Structure 1
Amino acid sequence: MKLLVTGGAGFIGSAVVRLAVRQGFEVVNLDALTYAACLDNVADVAGDPAYAFEHADIRDRAALDRILARHRPDAVMHLAAESHVDRSIDGPGAFIDTNVTGTYTLLQAVRQYWEAAGRPEGFRFHHVSTDEVYGSLGPSGFFTEETPYAPNSPYSASKAASDHLVRAWHETYGLPVVMTNCSNNYGPYHFPEKLVPVVILRALAGAPIPVYGTGENVRDWLYVEDHADALLTVLRRGTLGRSYNIGGENEARNIDLVRRICAILDDLRPASAPHDRLITFVADRPGHDLRYAIDPGRIRTELGWRPSVTLDEGLRRTVRWYLDNPAWWQALQNRAGVGQRLGISGSAA
């Protein structure tokens, strides 16, 4: 099977690319190489004859048509997106442009390609989304595939809109789609603006580790390589028109997650004092959802998939990866926004 992955130089996309090549797929990686993308993420497979790279933007219809015609993929997995909530607060326009208009442009290009090819039965369009489209949970309960959408940030609203577009293209035009919504990912190659890499790198630098509010916000944490495996499972065996929630079954309060990372660093890279002394509580971000938690019953029951990596094991792997790969993250330190507090009050952009 030849798979076209959009956003394949990003964090989750590159994990999919690496795993797909190992599993015998031919892979075309389409990426615009915006600030959070890095071709070093796919260096392990870049020389493989089953891998090809296309530098293009999903908003560029002519480029999409050219790439689809050149490579003739059997499936498209759509991961390209603006994804950082704090950045969406400061500049929501980019999120609407990429996540909504870009998804629309891609859907139209893929629909034309699929129809011109005679609507091949085995074709799939896999749209990858987030649990943030469901809004915020209280102290109990779980998101299911039937949970009503209630996005609370410009990022989650833009992803909710893209989810609805994909569903509509399936119902209206018959485009064969599968959809997934995942919990918070973490692991190697995570761009250093998200919580886990921020904690690791701030601790290594002996700098204050910022925790929003009182750290009571709860997330379900999914190791990125588990997520990649789940995505390829849904691509191959998911029911058309069906949505699957992918969770790590690893809930933790932010403050507890930060302390666990600090404890791992105390073990692997001890400092003169425990790393958790660096924890600093800062003003919360606007619209900060209290809790996300996924019920992964559908993917477990229908497709036999469940996560294989516990949170403690995954965090230790992740910390060790950052310790062993300083050249990767040091090269990203000067990119826009890295190391800065974003999303405090927003702007009119």
Structure 2
Amino acid sequence: MKYLITGGCGFIGSNLAAEVLKRGEELFVLDNLFRYGSGSNLEWLRTKGDFTYYPYDTRNTNDVETVIKEVQPDYIFHLAGQVAMTTSISNPRLDYDTNALGTFNLLDAVRKYSPDSVILYSSTNKVYGDFEYLHFREESTRYVCEEYPNGFPESISLDFHSPYGCSKGCADQYLLDFHRIYGLKTSVFRHSSMYGSNQHATYDQG
């Protein structure tokens, strides 16, 4: 199987890429190394096995189409993105271009050149807006929402907050609609803050 990871030198991407290599699959990484720590993650990843690296930018249509046409990936983990709330407020254009436009470029390239690829997208819980109307209780390993003890259903209303929530939400909805309209195989993960090795977190994350 061929795996393409956009943002493959980031926190989640580099760990996922290492797992792909561990399993002996063919790996392709697309990352412009814009984010602090991405370069060192790339060097770390090179110690884990052989893969093809593209120093490209998802905001560039030609970059994305070139990779999709060349690779024809079986699976795409779309992790490239702008992840800081404060950055989205100070520079909403960068935030929109990275999260919304970058995702659209990827989807449209897959639609045209590799429609059988499976696309898995890293979205955010910020698409749900303010959860103050819900009630949570603390348990030994997590907080449980009393109204939704088994997790939030897909039917729960979306309420984008902040430029970050809007850009991620826009991308989120495009993935769902490219499935409905064009039949692409897409899936969206709306997760919260995570932490771990290779993160190189900034003060405004989590």
Q: TM (normalized to structure 1)?
A: 0.51
Classify the secondary structure of the residue corresponding to 2:62.
helix
Does the aligned pair in 2 maintain the 1:59–1:98 contact within 8 Å? yes
Paired residues for 1:79-158 under 5 Å: 79-115=79-115, 120=116, 123-138=117-132, 139-140=135-136, 141=145, 142=148, 143-158=152-167
Q: 2:193 aligns with which of 167, 184, 196?
A: 184
Contact 1:4 1:27 in 2 (8 A): yes
Shift of 1:169: 0.6
Cα shift at 1:78: 0.5
Deviations 1:123-167 (A, max 9, x none): 311111111111121243354332211121111111011001111
Query: Quick one: distance in 2 between partners of 1:7 and 1:135?
Result: 25
Q: Distance in 1 between matches of 2:114 and 2:23?
A: 25
User: 1:44 deviation in Å?
Assistant: 3.6
Q: Which protein has greater RCO, CA pairs closer than 8 Å, 6+ apart?
A: 2
Give the alignment of 1:229-268 within 5 angstroms: none
- 1:161 paired with 2:156, answer no
Which residue number in structure 2 is paired with residue 223 of structure 1? none
Runs of 4+ in structure 1 off by over 6 angstroms are none
Letter in 1 for 2:184: L
Letter in 1 for 2:175: V
Change in 2 beyond 3 A, CA 1:37/1:129 = farther
Is 1:173 the equivalent of 2:182?
yes
CA contact (8 A) 1:78 1:127 kept: yes
Look at both structures and tell me which one has the larger radius of gyration over its CA atoms. Answer: 1
| Residue type of the alignment partner of 2:126 | E
Number of the residue aligned with 2:140: none
In 2, Cα distance between equivalents of 1:68 and 1:77: 13
Secondary structure of 1:86's aligned partner: helix
Structure 1 stretches lacking a partner, 5+ long? 197-218, 220-349
For the aligned residue pairs, the C-alpha RMSD in angstroms reads 2.0
Q: Which amino acid aligns with 2:84?
A: H
Alignment of 1:304-343 (within 5 A): none
Q: CA 1:132–1:193 in structure 2 vs 1: closer, same or farther (change >3 Å)?
A: same
* Corresponding residue number in structure 2 for 1:61: 61
The 1:37–1:44 alpha-carbon spacing in structure 2 relative to 1, beyond 3 Å, is closer
Task: State the TM-score, normalizing by the size of structure 2.
Answer: 0.84
